[in-house]
């Protein structure tokens, strides 16, 4: 358990009394130190200035120099990290800087980390306390790791930082802190569920975690297989049919809008707790990755948690379609035809194109039941989106230019970037079937992410603004960044939280 605090700048030396204490200070791209750093430099006989002379050190984000002080200075280590150009510095830069600081602390084996944010490092665009609060968020996200299953690792093999202090305007930081703290908690909750293996996190245990969120004031309803059967959700049920785990549909509601009878915004997440491919089974290599095929549902779970924690002034509904896709004597066969909840029939030509079948019924349900003005679904839907966009952008598909612009526009600000792909008749035709209303894979095996989106759009009702975000390339990361260690990224939580905050709170 790591503890995080703000302290006033005047108290920055406080933690130097601890053993294994690290002080992180910052330098701009012109290598200018702030007042505090300069005074420390004097105490250290100019060791900081000297270290900064390295031609490698350009004060860029991600660069740092480490100095071990001689006698008379109580810190075990002093690290000077680059803060980059003031011109390109945003609130995200402060998150990254604090994430880097945590990373350095863990590499050095420091238990106590003090991050000194000097006034000189704060750009004018940031109101008082904003930079500090974003540093706190960055530190929390950077310190995340999923270590619950290690039993034999030695202390020095695990992240060891235990106390993180952000020194700055601690009073002003408090005004911005609650919103970002709620975001950090939501993202961490998402990372936790997405990281869990499928023997632990399956539809029922995930639904149970959702039920636990009643304590936050969320309304939670869980539909089991009998209820879904009675409603006719055969597209979703067909996917879970080969699994011993019972499929679940979770409904999370946050009713925070001041106007009580206003229509909600809805989020729908693909929650395939394990995707073996079913009878259209996947190759063995890499199949373990399919434990995170519930990343969309994980993001919906996290963002609903964030909205509740920060008591957002919005009516929001989160739907999680939870299933496990397995091969079995009772599993769905390629070629089977199912009648979806909407009444439209689907020929299931490939049981590995299961996410869209789950979403078809979940999307229809949320529209029938809650009449939302806007529906956004998140899904690790297609490997093809990684072919198209790599792992930088999530694929964005929408029937509404305003909504698409809003989502794309928030990419820079949140780091959850999207790139919009086209839709239309040319692609839609590909999913016509010879024996049913549609088939779940395209005939020509081209534009796989787009035909998947066309499939989903067939379950969107008239006048509903809809966006589909394909997060197959962004939900999981094999390489760590400053604020996102290897593994689950919680992509989408920030994006949806920011979307609500910017456009849908009243």
Q: What does the binding site for Zn ion look like in residue numbers (CB under 5 A)? A: 272, 275, 293, 355
**Minimum gap (Å) between residue 386 Cβ and ligand BES:** 6
DSSP state of 33: B
**Minimum gap (Å) between residue 163 Cβ and Mn ion:** 44
Picking from 393, 402, 416, 395, the residue whose alpha carbon sits closest to that of residue 374 is 402
User: 31 by DSSP, 3-state: which?
Assistant: coil
Nearest residue to Mn ion by CB is: 352
**Minimum gap (Å) between residue 279 Cβ and Mn ion:** 12
Region near ligand BES per CB under 6 A, out of 66-74, 116-124, 349-357, 496-504: 349-357
Q: Pick the binder of ligand BES from 100, 118, 354, 417 (CB under 6 A).
A: 354
CA distance 313 to 264: 11
User: 503 by DSSP, 3-state: which?
Assistant: helix
Q: Does 448 engage in binding with ligand BES (CB under 6 A)?
A: yes
**Minimum gap (Å) between residue 74 Cβ and ligand BES:** 49
Q: Pick the binder of ligand BES from 355, 372, 485, 492 (CB under 6 A).
A: 355
CA distance 107 to 390: 29
Which listed option, Mn ion, Zn ion, ligand BES, none, makes contact with residue 13 (CB within 5 to 8 Å by class)?
none
Choosing from 253, 356, 406, 458, which is the catalytic residue?
356
> Tokens 């990254």 label which residue?
96
Binding flags for ligand BES, 261-300, as an x/- string (CB under 6 A): --------------x-----------------x-------
Region near Mn ion per CB under 5 A, out of 61-69, 74-82, 345-353, 443-451: 345-353
- What are residue 309's phi and psi, to 5 degrees? -65, -35
**Minimum gap (Å) between residue 297 Cβ and ligand BES:** 12
Burial of 478: CB neighbours in 10 Å, binned 0-12, 13-18, 19+: exposed
| Residues contacting ligand BES: total by CB under 6 A | 14
Region near Mn ion per CB under 5 A, out of 250-258, 346-354, 476-484, 496-504: 346-354
Which listed option, Mn ion, Zn ion, ligand BES, none, makes contact with residue 372 (CB within 5 to 8 Å by class)?
none
Q: What separation in angstroms does the CA of 498 have from each of 304, 305, 409, 416, 505?
A: 12, 14, 11, 10, 10
Choosing from 58, 282, 369, 420, which is the catalytic residue?
282
> Tokens 């994006």 label which residue?
495
Q: Does 472 engage in binding with ligand BES (CB under 6 A)?
A: yes
CA distance 128 to 107: 31
> Tokens 């694929």 label which residue?
395
CA distance 379 to 377: 7
Per the annotation, the verdict on 282 as an active-site residue is yes
CA distance 438 to 11: 66
Q: Is 192 or 275 the residue whose CB approaches Zn ion more closely?
A: 275
Region near ligand BES per CB under 6 A, out of 25-33, 90-98, 102-110, 375-383: 375-383
DSSP state of 14: G
**Minimum gap (Å) between residue 272 Cβ and Zn ion:** 5
The helices-and-strands tally (H runs, E runs) of the chain is: 15, 19
CA distance 202 to 276: 13
User: 64 by DSSP, 3-state: which?
Assistant: strand
Picking from 2, 1, 11, 31, the residue whose alpha carbon sits closest to that of residue 115 is 11
Binding flags for Mn ion, 268-307, as an x/- string (CB under 5 A): -------x--------------------------------
Picking from 86, 105, 68, the residue whose alpha carbon sits closest to that of residue 27 is 86
**Residue 325 bridge partners (DSSP):** 275
Site residues (CB under 6 A) for ligand BES, limited to 425-444 = 441
Q: Is 138 or 321 the residue whose CB approaches Zn ion more closely?
A: 321
Which listed option, ligand BES, Mn ion, Zn ion, none, makes contact with residue 350 (CB within 5 to 8 Å by class)?
ligand BES
**Minimum gap (Å) between residue 352 Cβ and Zn ion:** 7
Region near ligand BES per CB under 6 A, out of 74-82, 136-144, 170-178, 378-386: 378-386
Which listed option, Mn ion, ligand BES, Zn ion, none, makes contact with residue 472 (CB within 5 to 8 Å by class)?
ligand BES
- Evaluate whether 2 touches 164 at the Cβ level (below 8 Å): yes
Q: For the chain, how many residues are written?
A: 506
Q: Is 100 or 470 the residue whose CB approaches Zn ion more closely?
A: 470
Sign of the CA dihedral running 43, 47, 53, 55: negative
- Where along the sequence are the contacts to Mn ion (CB under 5 A)? 275, 352, 354
Residues that bind ligand BES (CB under 6 A): 275, 293, 350, 352-355, 380, 382-384, 441, 448, 472
Q: What are the catalytic residues? A: 282, 356
């Amino acid at each position: 358990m790591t503890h995080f605090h703000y302290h006033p700048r005047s108290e920055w030396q406080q933690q130097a009394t601890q053993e294994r204490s690290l002080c992180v200070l910052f330098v701009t791209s012109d290598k200018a130190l702030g007042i505090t750093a300069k005074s420390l430099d004097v105490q250290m006989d100019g060791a900081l200035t000297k270290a900064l002379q390295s031609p490698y050190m350009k004060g860029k984000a991600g660069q740092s120099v480490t100095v071990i002080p001689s006698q008379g200075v109580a810190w075990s280590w002093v690290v000077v990290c680059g803060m980059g150009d003031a011109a390109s510095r945003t609130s995200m830069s402060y998150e990254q800087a604090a994430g880097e600081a945590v990373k350095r602390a863990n590499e050095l084996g420091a238990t106590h980390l003090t991050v000194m944010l000097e006034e000189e490092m704060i750009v004018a665009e940031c109101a008082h306390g904003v930079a500090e609060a974003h540093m706190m968020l960055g530190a929390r996200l950077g310190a995340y790791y999923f270590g619950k299953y290690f039993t034999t690792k030695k202390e020095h093999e695990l992240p060891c930082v235990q106390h993180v202090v952000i020194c700055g305007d601690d009073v002003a930081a408090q005004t911005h802190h609650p919103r970002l703290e709620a975001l950090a908690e939501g993202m961490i909750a998402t990372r936790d569920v997405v990281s869990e293996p499928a023997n632990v996190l399956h539809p029922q245990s995930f639904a149970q975690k959702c039920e636990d969120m009643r304590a936050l004031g969320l309304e939670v309803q869980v539909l089991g297989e009998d209820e879904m059967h009675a409603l006719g959700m055969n597209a979703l049920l067909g996917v879970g049919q080969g699994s011993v785990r019972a499929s679940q549909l979770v409904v999370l509601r946050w009713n925070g809008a001041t106007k009580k009878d206003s229509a909600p915004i809805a989020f729908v997440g693909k929650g395939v707790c394990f995707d073996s491919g079913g009878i259209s089974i996947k190759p063995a290599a890499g199949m373990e990755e399919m434990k995170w095929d519930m990343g969309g549902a994980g993001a919906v779970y996290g963002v609903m948690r964030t909205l509740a924690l920060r008591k957002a002034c919005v009516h929001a509904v989160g739907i999680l379609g939870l299933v496990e896709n397995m091969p079995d004597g009772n599993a769905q066969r390629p070629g089977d035809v199912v009648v979806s909840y909407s009444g439209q029939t689907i020929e299931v030509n490939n049981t590995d194109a299961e996410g869209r079948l789950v979403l078809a019924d979940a999307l229809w349900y949320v529209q029938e039941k809650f009449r939302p003005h806007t529906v956004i679904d998140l899904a690790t839907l297609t490997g093809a989106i990684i072919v198209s966009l790599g792992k930088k952008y999530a694929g964005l598909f929408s029937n509404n230019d305003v909504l698409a612009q809003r989502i794309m526009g928030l990419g820079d600000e949140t780091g959850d970037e999207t790139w919009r792909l086209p839709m239309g008749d040319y692609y839609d035709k590909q999913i016509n079937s010879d024996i049913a209303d549609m088939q779940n894979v395209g005939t020509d095996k081209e534009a796989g992410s787009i035909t998947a989106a066309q499939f989903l759009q067939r379950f969107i009702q008239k006048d509903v603004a809809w966006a589909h975000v394909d997060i197959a390339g962004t939900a999981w990361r094999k390489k760590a960044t400053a604020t996102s260690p290897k593994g689950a990224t919680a992509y989408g939580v920030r994006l949806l939280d920011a979307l609500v905050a910017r456009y849908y709170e009243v």
